[in-house]
Amino acid sequence: MTNSNSIAKHSDAPAMIQMRHVEKWYGDFHALKNIDLTVATGEKIVLCGPSGSGKSTLIRCINHLETIQSGEIIVNGHRLTDSQAAVDAVRQEVGMVFQQFNLFPHKTVMENCILAPMRVHKLSRTQAEKTAQKYLERVHIGDQAHKHPAQLSGGQQQRVAIARALCMEPKAMLFDEPTSALDPEMVKEVLDTMISLARDGMTMICVTHEMGFARQVADRVIFMANGEIVEENDPESFFSAPKHERTRAFLGEILAHH
Amino acid sequence: MGTQELSYLLLGLSWTLGLTAIGFAGGIPFGIGIALMRVSSNNWLRRPAMAWIGLFQGTPLLMQLFVAYFGLPLLGFNLPAWAAVAIALTAHASSFLGEIWRGAIQAIPKGQTEAALALGLPDRSRMFDVILPQAFKISLPATVGFLVQLLKGTSLAAIVGFIELTRAGNIVSNQLYRPLLVFGVVGAMYFAMCWPLSWWGRKLEQSMSKGANK
């Protein structure tokens, strides 16, 4: 399935996420160098690159889990500053799924999902449970709502994590290597969930090594190395004709195992 | 030992329980406060909390009771004896519990905080819904251990005039000239108070773990 039409389709829509001249340092280490990234509504971006390239850092800056030293980040019209109000506004627009799932172990699946809607959106328990049940069924885990995370497999936990983020009804989803901590046989169930989410029109940025997923779903694949965006292109062009030597080296290594 | 002596000991025991209850009732909420101040990024909260913990962990409870009982009136606070003891026990307990809970809070994986932040949970909810329940569970062995120590530590209140269980035992033993019997009974009474506390702590740990094992 070709996604090359999608770039043209998305370029007229207003940008969902915009990063302009973003710079980030950890002390003396220059983690993000002059990052310019625009994500249109409904666009799916796959971010790939070697360890330490800054890809996780980049998406973590979008929801202010990391701070930037210069540049601008705008999410759905909200300009991200260090003020609590701006941070809260942005965090309501984007959901995040983590490599380590980060479910709350002392709460059931259902409780994990209803906590934020009740506390932030002030929904009643009944309303929150209704929304949660809907999203849990969306990720095919509706029958496990009363279990605790430790009673579920890794793939199930990650799907709960996706549902939990969706319960806040974000405009965009950030995925930070969502399948990297999973046993291979569970990777597919999570990727299928993400693909289904993508087909429903969710704006997504996924940091991942799953190149099959990138080919299937991405509108653009972006390759990062040493804190810089080296190359970006639609998946067809990216995989068949990478422009930079660095990209070729990375693809050579990563595709050798597929 | 006759019923008169026994009921005198039981009166002492009731004082021990009362002083312990005061120590818990004061120490636990203030301990949470100290712990939260201690983990705060705000220097104006964190540094005083560190000083508080250092002071009350670094000095003997006996001395703290003295200072509260004799010193506070010198500063103009006219308090009944039990209030002075309550203040000393609360300050003492809050410093130890605060440090225990600070350690437990910091032991919670960073991912929990990040998930809470990513969901947009306000700080209060992040602490009370996500972090503190997990921290409390981790801290249970240390917390219960300290509470048992506090219960036994109330025996020091005898120095400022409370006829709690140990002092009562002293008095009865001096009357009967049978220290082994009397302090054997006193020891058994302390055990009878401490052991259920430990047992309850273990039960609490188990019930909080019910979701944790597959």
Cβ of B118 and A165 within 8 Å? yes
B12: which 2 tokens? 């002492």
Query: Could you tell me the pLDDT band of residue B158, with boundaries at 50, 70 and 90?
Result: confident
A172: amino acid identity, one letter: A
Q: For residue B209, give how far its alpha carbon lies from the nearest alpha carbon of chain A (Å).
A: 8
Query: Could you tell me the pLDDT band of residue A3, with boundaries at 50, 70 and 90?
Result: very low
Cβ of A98 and B115 within 8 Å? yes
Cβ of B118 and A106 within 8 Å? no
- Nearest by CB to B121, from A65, A119, A161: name it: A119
Chain B residue with minimal CA distance to A168?
B119
Q: What is the pLDDT of residue A7?
A: 45
Chain B residue with minimal CA distance to A88?
B120
A220-225 vs A44-48, strand pairing mode: parallel
Query: Which whole-number Å values give the CA distances from B85 to B28, B66, B144, in the listed order?
Result: 16, 9, 21
B51-88 pLDDT, tens digit per residue, is 999 999 999 999 999 999 999 888 888 888 888 999 99
In the predicted model, what is the mean pLDDT of residues A110-133?
96
Q: What is the pLDDT of residue B212?
A: 58
ipTM: 0.91
Chain B residues whose C-beta is within 8 A of a chain A C-beta are 109, 111-112, 114-115, 117-122, 125, 129-130, 133-134, 137, 208, 210-214
pLDDT at A258 over 70: no
Q: Contacts of residue A166 in chain B, CB cutoff 8 Å?
A: none
- Nearest by CB to B115, from A88, A102, A150: name it: A102
B56: which 2 tokens? 């009350």
Kindly report the pTM of this predicted structure: 0.86
Give which of B42, B119, B128, B139 to mutate to test A binding, by max A Cβ within 10 Å: B119
3-state secondary structure string across chain A: CCCCHHHHHHCCCCEEEEEEEEEEEECCEEEEEEEEEEEECCCEEEEECCCCCCHHHHHHHHCCCCCCCEEEEEECCEECCCCHHHHHHHHHHEEEECCCCCCCCCCCHHHHHHHHHHHHCCCCHHHHHHHHHHHHHHCCCHHHCCCCHHHCCHHHHHHHHHHHHHCCCCCEEEEECCCCCCCHHHHHHHHHHHHHHHHCCCEEEEECCCHHHHHHHCCEEEEEECCEEEEEECHHHHHHCCCCHHHHHHHHHHHCCC
pLDDT at A4 over 50: no
